Amino acid sequence: MSKIIEGLLYSESHEWVKIDGNVAIIGVSDFAQSELGDITYVDMPSDGDEIEKGGEFGALESVKTAADLYSPVSGTVVATNRAVEDDPSLINADPYTNWIIKIEMSDKGECNSLLDAAAYAQIVK
């Protein structure tokens, strides 16, 4: 049974979002990291990249496979997490503390279509 944190929003492609004012902090769910197994590489976007909701912004690679990352919201990348870039296994260790990117949202209303913890739990059960 994978861990799901109350108070975060989730996408059907297994990213989580924490809203901090106009900034969306984005990572992947416990389900996603456990499906992937040992993560060995994070393909990060660059600061300033414009990203559409549902658009690919990077990838996580485990030993066996590469999984694209999809943005739950539209906006501009304002930060990437250097710590997980240097040590991707941090995502396996704690996927909810170890965020991947921060996006300055262009339309905060898009968050309304994301899933809450209970709805996401239905998807991964």
Partner 1 sequence: MDKLTCLHDSHVALGAVMSPFAGFDMPIRYPAGIIAEHNAVRTKVGMFDVSHMGEIFVDGPDATRFVNHIFTNDITKAAAGEILYGMMLYPDGGVVDDLLVYKGFTPEHYLLVVNAANIDKDYEWLLGNAEGFDVVLDNQSESWGQIAIQGPESEDVVTRVLGIPAAAGLRFYTYFEMPGMIVSRTGYTGEDGFEIYAPVEKTRALWQTLLDAGVQPCGLGCRDTLRFEAGLPLYGDELSAEISPVMAGLSIFCKLDKEEFIGKEALLEQKAGGTARKLVGIEVLDRAIPRAGYSVETPEAEVVGVVTTGYRSITLDRSLAFALVDSAHAALGTALQVRIRNKVFPAQVIKKRFYQTNYKK
CB of residue 4 to partner 1, shortest distance in Å: 20
94 sits near partner 1 (criterion: CB under 8 A):
no
63 sits near partner 1 (criterion: CB under 8 A):
yes
Find all residues with CB under 8 Å of 56, minimum gap 6, and list them. 68, 69, 70, 71
The helix/strand/coil state of 89 is helix
| Nearer CB in complex with partner 1: 94/107 | 94
- From the CA atom positions of the chain, what is the Rg in Å? 13
Assigned token pair, 28: 């992947």
Residues in contact with partner 1, counted by CB under 8 A, come to a total of: 12
Site string for partner 1, 11-50 (x = CB under 8 A): --------------------------xx-xx-x-------
* CA dihedral (31, 35, 38, 42) positive or negative: negative
Give Cα separations from 57 to 65, 76, 79 (angstroms): 17, 11, 13
| Nearer CB in complex with partner 1: 42/115 | 42
Site for partner 1 (CB under 8 A): which residue of 5, 19, 59, 117?
A: 59
Assigned token pair, 52: 């559409």
CB of residue 31 to partner 1, shortest distance in Å: 13
- Binding residues (CB under 8 A) for partner 1: these are 37-38, 40-41, 43, 59, 61-64, 66, 92
